[in-house]
Structure 1
Amino acid sequence: MTERVILEPAQPAPDFSLPDQDGATRSLADFRGRRVILFVYPAAMTPGCTTEACDFRDSVASLEAAGYQLLGLSPDPVDKLARFAERDSLDYPLLSDPDREVLTAYGAFGEKKNYGRIVQGVIRSTFVIDEEGRIAHALYNVKATGHVARVRKLLGLDAA
């Protein structure tokens, strides 16, 4: 078993090129010069992931106004992401990583506890990437509920 990567601030963010829910290829390099919030969730259309994605949706305008590009990332296939985006009016890119290569590069796939058992899976995480493509914040094992509010406080967008 390989050791899981844990990204640290100031490290280069692993680059990627992945399809979004519309089939368009999105690369991290496309967003150079902008700050990026990349949130990783285990599975589209599940209760926790829907809560988190909709909380981000409700904050997307203010995040963009503050200079952030929001991206969601999961191992779901493009067609499932398209249904998720349509069903919940998610108006930001949802990236598909069925091979889990990008998830693994970010340390967001590996061993985790699920109901007391150790399993392999997606680790709910959020990464804030600066304008130069470096990790500003790497948040692992986050809870879906209330997470967006914590991210907004961390970024200084809301009062602490």
Structure 2
Amino acid sequence: MNDQLRPGDIAPLFHSKDQHDNPVSLEDYRGRKVLLAFFRNSACALCNLRVHQFMQRSTVWQQEGMEVIALFESPEASLRKYVGQQDAPFPLIADPVAEIYDLFGVESSEAKAQATLSKPGIHEEISAKVEAAGFKLIPEEGSNFNRIPAEFLIDEDGVIQVAYYGELITDHLPFETIERFAAGHGEDARRLQP
């Protein structure tokens, strides 16, 4: 397992480019809150559903001073082909060699991926949920199937307030925590740290 970050740590800086080839630097977000989300891969139906949910909330979050940055362990071509088709109003970053994932200690675990899939009825539940939202379970060639999602809430000074590392491939930070943080209730978000 990688070294995981904790609340109070300074978020590691990174430089990359988004789905539109625009430069993205975490340092440029100083003065604004950030939801930094690490996904499995760009074809992952659950990941696409989560991005869709972010898109539905992003206008309110931006009005509250919070930006979203989403990373995928996928090549740029796959990013554009799959999740990029959603036309997200926030940066989607391809990190095919997981450099930024490693900076944030985002885990890859065959045991956790298998634990998710071995839960009774989980495949049917996932299929029903993503297909109801219009997404399909599509394998991405060469992707890291064992990547476990992680999400971070970073304050205006670049300090991690909430570090959420999933236990299963279906785990994400509760929207209640994100909403409180976006609305400026950082203390509440820290208390909700899972």
TM-score with structure 1 setting the length: 0.84
The answer for the alignment partner of 1:12 in structure 2 is 10
Task: For 1:11-160, list aligned pairs within 5 A.
Answer: 11-112=9-110, 113-116=112-115, 121-141=146-166, 144=170, 147=173, 149-155=175-181, 157=183
Moved more, 67-76 or 104-113: 104-113
Q: Deviations over 1:66-98 (max 9, x none)?
A: 110111011112222223355223121001212
C-alpha contact (below 8 Å) 1:37/1:68 kept by paired residues: yes
> CA, structure 1 residues 11+58, in 2 after alignment: closer, same or farther (shift >3 Å)?
same
Q: Deviations over 1:108-134 (max 9, x none)?
A: 1333512249x9842201101111111
C-alpha contact (below 8 Å) 1:55/1:148 kept by paired residues: no
RMSD: 2.7
**Amino acid corresponding to residue 87 of structure 2 in structure 1:** S
Larger radius of gyration: 2
Q: Give ranges in structure 1 of 5+ residues lacking alignment.
A: none
Choose between structure 1 and 2: higher helix proportion: 2
TM-score with structure 2 setting the length: 0.70
C-alpha contact (below 8 Å) 2:55/2:88 kept by paired residues: yes
**Amino acid corresponding to residue 74 of structure 2 in structure 1:** D
Moved more, 104-113 or 141-150: 141-150
Moved more, 103-112 or 35-44: 103-112
Q: Deviations over 1:5-42 (max 9, x none)?
A: 11111101011001211122211011111111101100
C-alpha contact (below 8 Å) 1:77/1:97 kept by paired residues: yes
**Amino acid corresponding to residue 113 of structure 2 in structure 1:** N
Any idea what SS the aligned residue of 1:115 has? helix
In 2, Cα distance between equivalents of 1:66 and 1:10: 22
Q: Give ranges in structure 2 of 5+ residues lacking alignment.
A: 117-143, 184-194
Any idea what SS the aligned residue of 2:74 has? coil
C-alpha contact (below 8 Å) 1:103/1:122 kept by paired residues: no
